[in-house]
Amino acid sequence: MEVFKPEKLFGIIGHPLGHTMSPLLHNWGFSEHKIPAVYMAWPTEPEKVENFMQTFRNLPISGISVTIPHKLSVMNYIDQLTERAKSVGAVNTLYWKGDKIVGDNTDAAGVSEPLRPYSDQIKTALLIGAGGAARAAITGLQLLGINEIFITNRTKSKADDLAAEFKISVLDWDTRGDQHFDLIVNSTSLGMSGEFQEINPMIMDNQDANTIVFDLVYNPIETVFVKEAKAKGCTVIHGIEMFVHQGMEQFRLWTGKKLDEKKARKLLLDNL
Ligand code: NAP
């Protein structure tokens, strides 16, 4: 029997890390491309991040995915930030360039790539939510050249802060349903399995078949927002697309190889 001897080590840090699908995606990718590497889950409490980053520097670890709540704090322990990580203001991917640790962000690509086929038809976009995912979403929309971006959030001060930083406009939470948009992106937790599952983040009265809806929530796949958008005839992009594309971009950064998008999507959907 042939014994598998990994030559490269990758992993994800976050807290808690319970249900991450990243090991599934990347280990499948290594196997598809016959790359002798392994990807592990390293649950890391916030107070242990500094220690972990020291370990990264000293052990032969080739790359790391970074998730909540470490996307900001790891920036204190790296040597370079890519332009897109600077733009998002957060890091979700670490890799080596020579002896330097580079911090990058593929979450913005996770938003821009699924929308790219539609970019010509998007002039106005509404982003609902102003948390961590919203920062990547704004950068993703700006990467596509969408200039008329509105943000709305239950806590208006957070929308105001992001609007000032990214030079976009704010809509009051209570007026978010009052006009038509070419694109609506949900980056709130509304619709997620659990206590918010039945809450639709948007009032859809003014939307129609010309509206594209991208719900970043991926569990469940068919959120109440997605269901209502479909009933209105809108084009729908599911949250799993963001996960697929941010993961594909990480894999490319680490290996130079492309994951098969259709197979990656099926793998994740089968395991959700
Ligand atoms: P976050 O930083 O905690 O932000 C949560 C956002 O949801 C805030 O804007 C918050 O508004 C809003 N919100 C929470 N409860 C609400 C309520 N009851 N009514 C109205 N608004 C409410 O979280 P995040 O990291 O941005 O993640 C947000 C969502 O994106 C999650 O569902 C996550 O699963 C999803 N996501 C998906 C992917 C993917 O790969 N598809 C990647 C990242 C995140 P306030 O400011 O008023 O609290």
Average pLDDT over residues 234-255: 98
Residue 130 phi, psi dihedral angles, 5° rounding = -145, 35
End-to-end CA distance of the chain: 32
Question: What pLDDT score was predicted for residue 30?
Answer: 98
Query: For a substitution probing ligand 1, which of 68, 113, 188, 200 has the most ligand atoms within 8 Å of its CB?
Result: 188
Q: Where in the chain is the domain with CATH 3.40.50.720?
A: 109-237
pTM score > 0.85 for this model? yes
Q: Where in the chain is the domain with CATH 3.40.50.10860?
A: 8-105+242-271
Separation CA 65–CA 22 (nearest Å):
8
Ligand 1 first shell, C-beta below 6 A: 68, 110, 129-134, 153-155, 158, 187-190, 192, 196, 216-218, 239, 242-243, 246
- Let me know if 227 is a catalytic residue: no
- The pLDDT tens digits for 170-180 are 999 999 999 99
Separation CA 219–CA 19 (nearest Å):
11
Question: What pLDDT score was predicted for residue 5?
Answer: 76
User: At residue 51, does pLDDT exceed 70?
Assistant: yes
Q: Which fold has domain 8-105+242-271?
A: Rossmann fold (3.40.50)
CB contact at 8 A, 143 and 122: no
User: At residue 2, does pLDDT exceed 90?
Assistant: no
- Position 132 confidence tier, pLDDT thresholds 50, 70, 90: confident
Q: Residues near 96 by Cβ (< 8 Å), separated by ≥ 6?
A: 62, 63, 102
Q: Which fold has domain 109-237?
A: Rossmann fold (3.40.50)
Average pLDDT, the chain: 96
User: At residue 125, does pLDDT exceed 80?
Assistant: yes
- Position 6 confidence tier, pLDDT thresholds 50, 70, 90: confident
